[in-house]
């Protein structure tokens, strides 16, 4: 049994070779590296280099390519067999070659083993067909048997730059729309604090964007509209989005109230960027004032029509003649009665119409003259006159 265990142990342990110790006459021996392990490590490294998505290029001290992986073949559109032994300058735009050579010389003189080659602007590389493309790269150096070798890991950032450019352009377009929109645009965070407001909001509310930023949205809401605003916020939050349209009042910086038509929605959030609310705010204060004025006029005219309905036919005849500027004597002649009787009729109609003077009576009647069916003897009604 013991023999079997020892035999198994021997099979598990690879044989070790020994080499003489460096010092002459030394009694000890140094274990030599396992050749199979080294081979496996090299194969594993070669596999990693071959399968890497980035380009991996190694050059010697003379800047000649000694390694050109599959990623480099795809990136530079050049087979490895054509690249090996060639100067690295083949893959560098001519205007950058001198600067690159100086960079490598300075790097070789340092003790640094690796560093990024990134600058404020993207580096440029050259494909086999002569087309340029942007890259970012890192470089490392190692010395083997007294000879320097430099390895660069290169990434094509064309797609990333296209995306970044598109994002910048989209941001610029949004910013232009945001700043120049004829209606107010307001962004609000998840805690109902204002993130940003555009120029139209500033004009409508009298506050600057700096003053509004960080202000609770409810603070500029008319007290009578606070609960409605909170309910809309709860509704759009719990409903997971959509658009809500409503009218509300704001309180301006000067204390006056401003009416607005609001389109309210919520942006999609993420783990690193929580949702926020967007409000499109149309100033409808003037429209509301016009509507209120029109309502007052309608109410006043309806009151006049109601008062007019209480007049007798004779009083209506007298009213129309009075409105047309006829004197009492002339009215009496037109109606075939005495001036005293006309005075009585005029006094009664003035009382019923609640007018203190003929001028006031005219002011009341003229806006509704087309609605009144006045027949004043020989006098023409407004309908007839028109």
Tell me the per-residue pLDDT of 335-375, one tens digit each, with 9 for 90 and over. Answer: 888 999 999 998 999 999 999 988 998 888 888 887 775 43
The reply to whether 304 and 357 lie within a common domain is yes
* Residue-level pLDDT at 247: 96
Q: Is the pLDDT of residue 29 over 60?
A: no
The answer to the question of residue 15 being in a domain is no
The answer to the question of residue 229 being in a domain is yes
The reply to whether 147 and 230 lie within a common domain is no
- Strand order from edge to edge, sheet including 257-266: 194-197, 184-188, 277-283, 257-266, 243-251
Backbone φ, ψ for residue 290 (5° rounding):
-65, -40
The answer to the question of residue 4 being in a domain is no
The reply to whether 269 and 310 lie within a common domain is no
Q: Answer for the pair 57, 88: CB distance below 8 angstroms, yes or no.
A: yes
The answer to the question of residue 21 being in a domain is no
The answer to the question of residue 141 being in a domain is yes
The answer to the question of residue 12 being in a domain is no
The reply to whether 151 and 212 lie within a common domain is no
Q: Indicate which CATH number applies to the domain containing 333.
A: 1.10.10.10
Instruction: Report how many domains make up the chain.
Output: 3
The reply to whether 296 and 369 lie within a common domain is yes
Listed residues 252, 283, 314: the one ending a domain: 283
The reply to whether 278 and 188 lie within a common domain is yes
Q: Answer for the pair 232, 246: CB distance below 8 angstroms, yes or no.
A: yes
Q: Is the pLDDT of residue 5 over 90?
A: no
Q: What is the mean pLDDT of residues 208-215?
A: 94
- Write down the pTM of the prediction: 0.58
The reply to whether 46 and 148 lie within a common domain is yes
How confident is the model over 97-152, as pLDDT tens digits? 999 989 888 888 888 888 787 666 789 999 999 999 999 999 999 988 888 999 99
The answer to the question of residue 115 being in a domain is yes
The answer to the question of residue 107 being in a domain is yes
Listed residues 231, 250, 283: the one ending a domain: 283
How confident is the model over 33-90, as pLDDT tens digits? 565 665 556 666 667 777 778 999 999 999 999 999 999 999 999 999 999 999 999 9
Query: Whole-angstrom Cα distance, residue 277 to residue 151?
Result: 50
Could you list the residue range(s) of the whole structural domain that residue 91 is in? Answer: 40-157
Q: Indicate which CATH number applies to the domain containing 110.
A: 3.30.450.20
The reply to whether 49 and 150 lie within a common domain is yes
Per DSSP bridges, beta strands 114-116 and 147-156 are unpaired
Chain Cα centroid distance, residue 363: 54
* Residue-level pLDDT at 238: 86
The reply to whether 302 and 271 lie within a common domain is no
């Amino acid at each position: 049994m013991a023999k079997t265990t020892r035999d198994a142990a021997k099979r598990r342990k690879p044989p070790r070779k020994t080499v003489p110790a460096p010092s002459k006459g030394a009694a000890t021996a140094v274990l030599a590296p396992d050749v199979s392990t080294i081979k496996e490590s090299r194969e594993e490294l070669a596999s990693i280099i071959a399968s890497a998505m980035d380009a991996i290029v190694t050059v010697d001290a003379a800047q000649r390519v000694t390694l050109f992986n599959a990623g480099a073949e795809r990136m530079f559109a050049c087979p490895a067999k054509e690249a090996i032994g060639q100067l690295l300058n083949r893959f560098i735009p001519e205007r950058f070659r001198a600067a690159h050579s100086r960079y490598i010389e300075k790097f070789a003189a340092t003790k640094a083993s690796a560093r990024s080659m990134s600058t404020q602007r993207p580096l440029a590389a050259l494909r086999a067909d002569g087309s340029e493309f942007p890259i970012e790269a890192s470089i490392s150096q190692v010395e083997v048997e007294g000879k320097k070798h430099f390895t660069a890991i290169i990434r094509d950032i064309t797609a990333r730059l296209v995306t970044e450019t598109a994002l910048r352009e989209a941001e610029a377009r949004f910013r232009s729309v945001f700043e120049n929109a004829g209606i107010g645009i307001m962004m609000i965070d998840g805690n109902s604090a204002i993130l940003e407001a555009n120029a139209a909001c500033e004009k409508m509310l009298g506050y600057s964007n700096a003053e509004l930023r960080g202000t609770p949205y409810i603070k500029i809401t008319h007290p009578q509209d606070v609960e409605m605003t909170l309910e809309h916020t709860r509704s759009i939050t719990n409903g997971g989005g959509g658009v809500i349209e409503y009218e509300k009042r704001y309180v301006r910086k000067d204390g006056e109230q401003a009416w607005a038509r609001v389109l309210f929605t919520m942006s999609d959030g993420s783990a690193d960027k929580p949702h926020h609310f967007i409000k499109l705010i149309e100033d409808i204060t003037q429209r509301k004032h016009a509507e209120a004025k029109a309502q007052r006029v309608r109410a006043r005219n309806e009151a006049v029509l109601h008062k007019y309905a209480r007049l007798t036919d004779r009083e209506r005849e007298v009213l129309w003649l009075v409105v047309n500027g006829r004197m009492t004597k002339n009215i009496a002649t037109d109606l075939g009665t005495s001036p005293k009787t006309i005075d009585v009729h005029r006094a009664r109609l003035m009382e019923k119409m609640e007018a203190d003077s003929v001028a006031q009576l005219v002011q009341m009647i003229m806006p509704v003259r087309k609605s009144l069916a006045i027949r004043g003897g020989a006098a023409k009604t407004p309908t007839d006159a028109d």
